[in-house]
Amino acid sequence: MLADLVWVVPEGTLSHEEATTLGCGFWTAVQALFHPTRLGLTEPPAKVKGKKWLQSDYLQLIRLLAAAGYKVATVSSPCNFELAKSLGATVVFDYNSPGVLDQILTAGSSAHSTPKGKVITILGSKDEAVAYNPNVMIQPTLIYCSLGREFSFREVFPVSKEDRD
């Protein structure tokens, strides 16, 4: 029954209007970052890198990581630098800059050197993720899977009892 997925908005936290904006993008970001079978983040200093995030998920990830105490380094076009910073990004780099990779690696110091970990992909191909780094575990995630119904878009996301529990 889907009614068990409805929650009360705690008094003094968000208005009902604000709570309605916490849709699939937000909950997919929460799942990708904090669910024990995904990245399982608890508190800094773990390192998180993102590539090809969907716009809604990208914005939610910045907010969530900043709220959890992480320093957030991200890329954007210059016209969105202030938006990213207002959401909690510590530093924002121009993704068209010729030296952007070096700037990111400098900002993240040793975050790039860990040879193992997980790639959490949202509506992304596992093949593309493996091509990105074959030494990591590939974990697709989509909050729809916790709703008790199969979801199809590019590939099939089966119902996940584990995600619902």
CATH of the domain at 101: 3.40.50.720
Asked, for residue 134, whether it belongs to a domain, the answer is: yes
Query: 115 is in which domain, residue-wise?
Result: 28-146
- 33 in Cβ contact with 64 (< 8 Å): yes
Residue 42 located in a structural domain = yes
Q: Which residues of 86-101 are buried (b: 16+ CB within 10 A; e: fewer)?
A: ebbbebbbeeeeeeee
Structural domain contains residue 99: yes
Q: How far is Cα 135 from Cα 36, in angstroms, rounded to an integer?
A: 20
Per-residue tens of pLDDT for the chain, all 165 residues: 566 667 788 888 878 887 887 777 778 888 888 888 888 887 665 555 554 444 666 777 888 888 888 878 888 889 989 988 998 988 898 988 998 877 876 776 655 445 456 666 665 566 665 665 667 677 777 777 777 778 787 778 788 877 777
Domain count of the fold of the chain: 1
Q: Is residue 6 part of a domain?
A: no
Query: 38 lies in a domain?
Result: yes
Q: What is the helix (H) or strand (E) element at residue 74, kind and residue range?
A: strand 73-76
Q: Is residue 20 part of a domain?
A: no
Tell me the whole-structure pTM to 2 decimals: 0.57
Look at residue 151 and tell me if it is in a domain: no
Planar angle of CA 38, 90, 19, nearest 5 degrees: 60
Is 123 inside any structural domain?
yes
At 69 the pLDDT is 84
Unique residue bearing structure tokens 């997919």: 28
